[in-house]
Amino acid sequence: MKAINQDFDAIVVGSGISGGWAAKELTEKGLKVLVLERGAELRHSVDYLGEHAPDWKLPYQGKKPRELYREEYPVQSTSYAFSEATRHFFNNDKQNPYVRDEGKPFNWIRANVVGGRSLLWGRQTYRWSEQDFQANAQDGHGIPWPVSYKDLAPWYSYVEKFIGVSGEPLGLDELPDSEFLPPMGMHKIEKTIKGRLKRKAPDLKLTMGRAAILTQDHKGRAACHYCGPCHRGCSTGSYFSSQSSTLPAAKATGKLTLRPDSVVEKLIYDPDTKRISEVRVIDSRTGERFSFRSRIVFLCASTVGSTQILMNSANEYFPEGLGNRSGALGRYMMDHALGMSALGFFVDDMDSYWYGNRPNGTYIPRFRNLKQQDESLDFVRGYGFQANVVRMNWQTGLNKKGFGADLKNSLRKPGMWVWALSAFTECLPDKRNRMTLHPTKKDRFGIPQVVFDATWRENEYKLWADAVQQADRIMKAAGAVFSIQQDSIEVPMGSGIHEMGTARMGADPQQAVVNANNQVHGIPNLFVTDGAAMTSSSCVNPSLTYMAFTARACDFAVKQLQAGKL
């Protein structure tokens, strides 16, 4: 073990959504920060190899080689963002295995580069509401959050002003407004649908998606020019990522050391000081082992990654995993059940067409169980709908019957508009949904492999069934000539790439892993600010909340350092 003592004030594990924010905040507050990233170096703009590449310039001409994907990327290739244009962003499943039960599969989607999944996220950006933070206490599922919307609201604003969020204010309690840049424009058919819903389904609100994508030049980054697809990388920085925003801000301070190819094996706990004394690291290229020291440590390695590190750091003082006095570590895994609820076909506005590549859709906020439980419903919590429209064209008619000139001419004419509704349903915190470490199977670094035992439960299926029924109602109100519904949840847990929980926040150290400031109970210099700390899941995308919690925790940690308490 090679000890490297470079007198860091803070170590941040991970460089994605949360890690990038921790790096920015801690360096800008004057700390000397080391960021440890297990993925490879990736230079902003330079290494976005598939950004504007046509298929014929990609490996295999952009096709998906079955054997390669089946043998080396069976899980990662299930992601919408995975292709030959982005394969170098992702983990190789064969080289980085985990224990996946085919009877109860969990799709663990992992990036393998600096910036992590901030390069690949869908960029939908929503605040949680007070109802979201109060839900556990009100219906008894999970433990109460030790924070409220009021506690997080100023940090939401702080983060939004930096990242840039385009959207439309609605004044809804169930979906608080953000600090907005102008919203993206709707297509003509979407405006038609919005008008009909306003008349025939007034309980619904159709709005443009709220997205961390710029509609104006902002903080040195250019407005979106609608080239798409975003997940291939964005050289102009028009969408928020660690690469385009937080890491450059941290580097500008001169106080950042970024070390890629650095797999964190475990954290070493000092029982005398009750602090983390070392972070042990394996160089993924050479296999060499290092030890780093700092005054504080921020775990931002993703829900599963951070929990794996805590579990692998078990010792005689924390035999069930570091900070695990409660038995909650690894439990209460959540994700969002999502998928196509309905496809509606429209013959309106046939004289219009879409243009550009708008990297955003429309959104219908939660409208079930608002304010209080609706007595007519047999499920708790709710869901929202994310929606997109496409126009049928030659690509959707590839299997159309015909031959010769008549077939070609028919394919030249655009067909009906198709409006797709996808429900994002809340997942309840359930003790049975968990991850553990395998007792004998290890990865190529000698670290125990992760084992998942998590699946959708009764409430998630009831939510989904209701979403399908409501989608049918919505399609009829919108004026679809016909629609197609999907009857059941067809994706495994993890597919939403919104995994949360496993090191949940709570006031009572006998029930939770971290406290209201994201500190691990009993280990004051250790913070967990990624999805692992979430105590419930809401039904909206969680990344903005991770960022707000991270900025808030960094502010607290620095004040504690200045006060001599850390």
How deeply is 237 buried, as exposed, middle or buried, from its count of CB atoms within 10 A (0-12, 13-18, 19+)? buried
Phi, psi (deg, nearest 5) at residue 541: -60, 135
Would 196 be classed as within a structural domain?
yes
Residue 384: domain span: 177-209+337-425+456-491
pLDDT at position 1 is: 66
DSSP codes, 328-361: -TTBS-B--EEEEEEEEEE-SSTT----S--S--
Listed residue (101, 146, 144) closest to 429, CA to CA? 144
- Which of left, alpha, beta for 5 (phi over 0: left; psi -120 to 50: alpha)? beta
Would 192 be classed as within a structural domain?
yes
Would 350 be classed as within a structural domain?
yes
- Residue-by-residue pLDDT tens, the chain, 566 positions: 676 667 899 999 999 999 999 999 999 999 999 999 999 999 999 999 999 988 889 999 888 888 899 999 999 999 999 999 999 999 999 999 999 887 889 999 999 999 999 999 999 999 999 999 999 999 999 999 999 999 999 999 999 999 999 999 999 999 999 999 999 999 999 999 999 999 999 999 999 999 999 999 999 999 999 997 899 999 999 999 999 999 999 999 999 999 999 999 999 999 999 999 999 999 999 999 999 999 999 999 999 999 999 999 999 999 999 999 999 999 999 999 888 889 999 999 888 888 789 999 999 999 999 988 898 999 999 999 999 999 987 666 667 777 788 777 777 788 899 999 999 999 999 999 999 999 999 999 999 999 999 999 999 999 999 999 999 999 999 999 999 887 667 789 999 999 999 999 999 999 999 999 999 999 999 999 999 999 999 999 999 999 999 999 999 999 999 999 98
Would 438 be classed as within a structural domain?
no
- Asked whether the beta carbons of 322 and 314 are under 8 A apart, the reply is yes
User: 446: which 2 tokens?
Assistant: 């000698």
- DSSP bridge pairs for 246: none
Would 404 be classed as within a structural domain?
yes
- Asked whether the beta carbons of 127 and 210 are under 8 A apart, the reply is no
How deeply is 63 buried, as exposed, middle or buried, from its count of CB atoms within 10 A (0-12, 13-18, 19+)? exposed
Would 253 be classed as within a structural domain?
no
Listed residue (437, 390, 310, 413) closest to 13, CA to CA? 310
Distance of CA 434 to the CA centre of its chain: 19
Q: How many domains does the chain have?
A: 1
Would 150 be classed as within a structural domain?
no
CA 159, 162, 168 angle in degrees (round to 5)?
A: 80
Task: Specify the pTM.
Answer: 0.96
Residue type, 556: F
- Asked whether the beta carbons of 493 and 465 are under 8 A apart, the reply is no
As a whole number of angstroms, the distance between CA 176 and CA 178 comes to 7
256-259 and 33-36 as β-strands: parallel, antiparallel, unpaired?
A: parallel
DSSP codes, 85-145: TTGGGBPPTTTS--B--TTS-B----B-BTTGGGGTS--B--PPPHHHHHHHHHH-SSPPP
DSSP codes, 262-305: EEEEEEEEETTTTEEEEEEEEETTT--EEEEEEEEEEE-S-HHH
pLDDT at position 405 is: 84
- Cβ neighbours around 300 below 10 Å, total: 29
Would 545 be classed as within a structural domain?
no
